[in-house]
Structure 1
Amino acid sequence: MSITEASKRYHERMFPGYKSKFLETDPEFIERFDNFAFDEVVNSDDLDDRTRMMAILATLVGSQSVDEFQAMVPAALNFSVTPVEVKEIVYQAVAYLGIGRVFPFLHAVNDILEQRGVALPLEPQATTTTENRLEAGEQAMVDIMGESMRGFAGSGPEESRHINRWLTDNCFGDYYTRGGLDYRQREMITFCFLSAQGGCEPQLTSHAVNNMMVGNDKAFLIKIISQCLPFIGYPRSLNALRCVNEAADEVGNVA
């Protein structure tokens, strides 16, 4: 078996001293996967380790990969992703996946942090109240998407207008306004949630546009897709790439 030295070094940084049982049961598979994911892919661009790990965690939540998520959270913490950042990734996922799909990940994070001696609950990150979350959510939408989002909560057909309000006060007012992650990071993880779960290509294109609006350009998003590809496979990665290309055309036309 010939796992590359670069792959071995990266694996050791993620999981110091850990030897996978798959080295004994599935050595040929591990050789190819580790050499691809932890050498060829991680060395394909200049994305920093913290951003890579945050994107991978969000992708694993989006793809409902709780076992791999549990394995990768310690690696993310070893790469200086903070407990607050991990929690914020999980919290924000509720707006894009629903609590039914995020519940197991919340348990997983709490178990891992407690095992590592991290006191829970973590320091509060909320910046809004029940009274101002709508206003703050609208401002977050304006900050990210522009003045056209002003008044979005009251727009649309009367029978579905409440959903636009919820998008404003709940999705943006409750989550995007929190501390721990900035707008660029929040739009990046949203992109990962959507690309990983599939079937959300219209929203994925819209959030690719949002990413570009806050400074996560096309080249950056392609790096994110590339680094997450080993964890979600080619079909959803290629769909994400198509959405990024469509978003870049849209942003270019607007500009």
Structure 2
Amino acid sequence: MTTEIEMQYHDLIKSFLADVNTNCASHLHKDRVLIPIIASITQGITTALADQVETCLAAGIEPEILLEVVYQLTPVAGTLKVQQALPAIQAVLTKHQFRPSPSATNADENYGASIQADLYGTEIKNLLKDLPDEAGDFVPQALTNHFFNDFYNRSRLDVRDRERYELLALITLNVDFQIKAHARGSLRAGNSESELVWATIQLLPYIGFPLVINSVQVIHQAVSQSK
């Protein structure tokens, strides 16, 4: 049951939500309904998740794509947040009588590693090379195996989409170094500045103005540096 305080708050913010959604709708397509799910799971907040999944399905998002976006959050937000979200998602999909099928995988087991090399080179390996007791070897190798190979080898999302969704999760987490790196990676993967900026603006109701303003500046600077 919605409380009086919740109703008052909804009345306060409804013009804000409508303004963001209306303006983003003219620049974004499927991302507009997927981004709230990315924000919810990355923040570990599942109260609105069932409604967000219903909105995705109503907008014509294939359940397999929705699930792939959710799974892709694992190496960014962690297993606990993703696992916490799965029962609410499963309940909605079960109501719609959807049963997930396994995703096809790339024949090349190192496809993800090759994408990492193309987009990021040896950036993380160089960054962590001085860590003690072989930690500087393990973390970059785990990143390659379990960020890129485990997920990028799955065929339901292309690299361009994966990079964009990861960037949005990193923005939600407010991790400055990674936002800068993945802004560059997202651009190299074929995303335009407009796509990344408007996708970040769609995060406004969920993460607030400070993170969005900082992040769109980072994206704009990454474009300028790439010229």
If the length of structure 2 is used for normalisation, what is the TM-score?
0.86
Question: Where does residue 104 of structure 1 map in the other structure?
Answer: 84
For the 8 Å contact 1:201–1:243, the answer to whether it is kept is no
Matched, 1:242 2:221: no
1:113 equivalent among 93, 99, 107: 93
Instruction: Give per-residue Cα distances to partners, 1:59-78, cap 9 Å, x unaligned.
Output: 22112221122221110111
Say whether 1:183 aligns with 2:159. yes
Aligned to 2:139, the other structure's residue is in SS state: helix
SS across alignment from 1:44: helix
Residue-by-residue CA offset, 1:180-213 (whole Å, 9 max, x unaligned): 2111111111011111122x11101111111111
Q: What do you get for the CA RMSD once the two structures are aligned?
A: 2.5
Q: Does 1:43 align with 2:19?
A: no
1:68 corresponds, among 28, 48, 72, to 48
Bigger relative CO (Cα 8 Å, ≥ 6 apart): 2
Native 8 Å contact 2:111 2:153 kept in 1: yes
Asked which structure has the greater CA Rg, the reply is 1
Secondary structure at the aligned position of 2:102 is classed as: coil
What amino acid is aligned across from residue 204 of structure 2 in structure 1?
L
| Alpha-carbon separation, structure 2, partners of 1:232 and 1:159 | 33
Match of 1:228 in 2: 203
> Does 2:64 match 1:123?
no
Cα distance in 1 for residues equivalent to 2:195 and 2:29: 14
SS at 1:43's partner residue?
helix
Shift of 1:21: 3.8
Gaps of 5+ in 1: 1-19
Identical-residue share of aligned pairs (%)? 22
Measured in 2, the distance between the counterparts of 1:67 and 1:167 equals 31
Deviation per CA, 1:83-115: give whole Å up to 9, x if none: 111111111111111112221112221122112
Q: Gaps (5+ residues) in structure 2? A: none
User: Is this contact kept in 2: 1:49–1:79, CA < 8 A?
Assistant: no
- 1:114 and 1:193 map into 2 onto residues whose CA distance is 26
1:66 aligns to what SS in structure 2?
Answer: coil
CA contact (8 A) 2:69 2:165 kept: yes
Q: For this pair of structures, how many residues does the alignment match?
A: 221
Deviation at 1:223, TM superposition (A): 0.4
* 1:208 paired residue among 177, 183, 192: 183
* Aligned equivalents of 1:172, 1:126: Cα separation in 2: 15
Q: How does 1:11-50 map to 2 (within 5 A)?
A: 21=2, 26-38=6-18, 40-45=19-24, 46-50=26-30
CA distance in 1, matches of 2:210, 2:43: 13
What is the DSSP-based 3-state SS (H/G/I as helix, E as strand, rest coil) of the residue aligned with 1:47?
coil
Partner of 1:162: 138
Measured after TM superposition, the shift of residue 27 of structure 1 is: 4.0
**What is the CA–CA distance in structure 2 between the aligned matches of 1:195 and 1:239, rounded to whole Å?**
9
